[in-house]
Chains A and B, each alone.
Chain A
Amino acid sequence: MERLSKRYGRTIAVDDVSFTVDEGEIFGLLGRNGAGKSTTVDCLAGLRAPDHGRIRVAGLDPRRDRGELRQLLGVQLQDSQLQDKLTVAEAMRLYASFYRHPADIDRLLAMLDLTEKRNTRYRRLSGGQKQRLSIALALIGRPRFAILDELTTGLDPVARRDGWQLIEDIRNTGVTIMLITHLMIEAERLCDRVAIMRDGRIVALDTPAALGRPTLEDAFVALTDRRVS
């Protein structure tokens, strides 16, 4: 991503943002609410057209090559739901039908510990189960690149640990991952590199260890809290 800019009316959402995510990497995108993370992700996923800048995902332009990009991109959106009365297996089959080379549904359900819930309707799933289904749907097309937006928000600590393990498992299958999170401990634990955004700009980009003095959370607050800087 090179020199991305996007404004809504007079508000500048993203201002001259550049970064590269390496293949096989877990890349964290951090920032307070309204820092421009979602807009950056929307442009990356081809949901919005940037005003300026150049984006390439595996050599594809997210707007021009949208059809091709959607085949190799898996997205887990923050608080997007499914139809209440759709069962887990039906949702998986439906989303599998969108892709040229879908993953094996049974294996994916087993990996996400949803096999027993396959005939349960979406409405009856717990918060953690809904999150896991959302991840499963993001992976059903066997993506090369997955965007996971606030994946573990609202999960209990055990479920969160399971989620972290899952993300590492996914990366070990060769998927490049962009992780958007508010949990610094999550970024420290999982991410190879993190970018911290503030007011539409990237204010830091490095490994969590290099940024974290003494912890990533301290560095984050120092970089993004107006009262501090």
Chain B
Amino acid sequence: MLKMLALTEARLLLREPLAFFWGVAFPMVLLPVMGLSASKIEGVSLVAIYEPIVIAFISVAFGVQGIPVQIAGYRQGRILRRLATTPAGPARVIGAQLIVSLGVILIATIGVLAVGRLGFGVPLPRQPLGFALVVLLAAAAMVAIGLLIGALAPTARSAGAAATVLFFPLMYFAGLWTPQMSASARHIGSFTPLGAATQALGDSMSGGWPHPAAFAVLGLCTVVCAGLAARFFRWE
């Protein structure tokens, strides 16, 4: 049942070229664009700096922006209600969406690492376990935010608007527009989920174990958002 639902969700995602471009192709194109400019910040190439930022972007695209629009759309089209009358139940289709979103985030992350390594010689993470943990936790945190928006937003349109509003502060502190942040901005950023995530991803790429505070920020975001989503979820 869950397998069929997940396969169906995956198939439907592949039929959304725009979502796919934004979440998978765009990060893989953004990285080479940064790589082509030979500029460096404090001796580190721009492409190496941008790799963690782009990886954080992927989980925003699918977690924060993708999931709530899907959930609100399914509620609006009374698909969740329809499923509630079948043995599958409405919760399983949301489970299937989470599985597919996490799967695509992981695949796109591997893709970005490959582009960086093969195209521009950026070394693979020197602390792979720490890196993998941060990627998973960041994805979980973004998916949890997405679930919370999806739980509250009455329509797919309002879910999309809420996600767009959140996109900017989340990605600002990840450093999408200002990879070289002032010390104070960096400090504030380390308390936001994606600021913490990019710093931790950067640390583990250069071989250090991510700062425990990053795990705490991401874990807290996941637990709080998922908990609120479960509490306030509207099935119809």
Q: Which residues of A contact B (CB under 8 A)?
A: 45, 47, 67, 70-71, 73, 75, 77, 79-83, 85-86, 90, 93-95, 97-99, 137, 141
Contacts and interface: CB of A to CB of B under 8 A. Distances in A.
Given A77-B85, A141-B86, A94 B5 contact: yes
A47 B81 contact: yes
Contacts of A81: 77-79
A82 B4 contact: no
Interface stretch (B7-15, B117-125, B211-219): B7-15
Given A83-B74, A137-B82, 18 more contacts: A47-B81, A70-B86, A70-B87, A77-B82, A80-B77, A80-B82, A81-B77, A81-B78, A82-B79, A85-B12, A86-B12, A90-B8, A93-B4, A95-B86, A97-B1, A97-B4, A99-B87, A141-B86
Given A81-B78, A97-B1, A75 B12 contact: no
A149 to B, nearest CB: 11
A85 B82 contact: no
B85 A45 contact: yes
A93 B7 CA distance: 11
Interface of B: 1, 4-5, 8, 11-12, 15-16, 74, 77-79, 81-82, 84-89
Contacts of B5: 94
B87 A90 contact: no
The 3 closest A-B pairs by CB, nearest first: A80-B78, A81-B77, A75-B85
Contact of B85 (A70, A82, A85, A97): A70
A75 B11 CA distance: 25
B78 A77 contact: yes
23 contacts: A47-B84, A70-B86, A73-B85, A75-B82, A75-B85, A77-B81, A80-B79, A80-B81, A80-B82, A82-B79, A82-B82, A83-B12, A83-B77, A85-B16, A86-B12, A90-B8, A94-B4, A94-B5, A95-B86, A97-B1, A98-B86, A99-B87, A137-B82
A116 B58 CA distance: 40
Contact of B87 (A67, A79, A86): A67
Contacts of B11: 90
Nearest to A79: B78
B80 to A, nearest CB: 9
A73 B86 CA distance: 8
Contacts of A70: 85-87, 89
A141 B81 CA distance: 17
Contacts of A86: 8, 12
Nearest to A99: B87
Nearest to B7: A94
Contacts of A98: 1, 86-88
Given A86-B8, A86-B12, A47 B85 contact: yes
Nearest to B74: A83
A67 B89 CA distance: 9
A86 B74 CA distance: 13
Nearest to B15: A85
Contacts of A137: 82
B87 A71 contact: yes
Nearest to B86: A98
A141 B1 CA distance: 13
A83 B79 contact: yes
Contacts of B15: 85
A95 B4 CA distance: 9
Contacts of A99: 86-87
Nearest to B84: A47
A123 to B, nearest CB: 11
Contacts of B81: 47, 77, 80
B146 to A, nearest CB: 18
A157 to B, nearest CB: 26
A88 B8 CA distance: 12
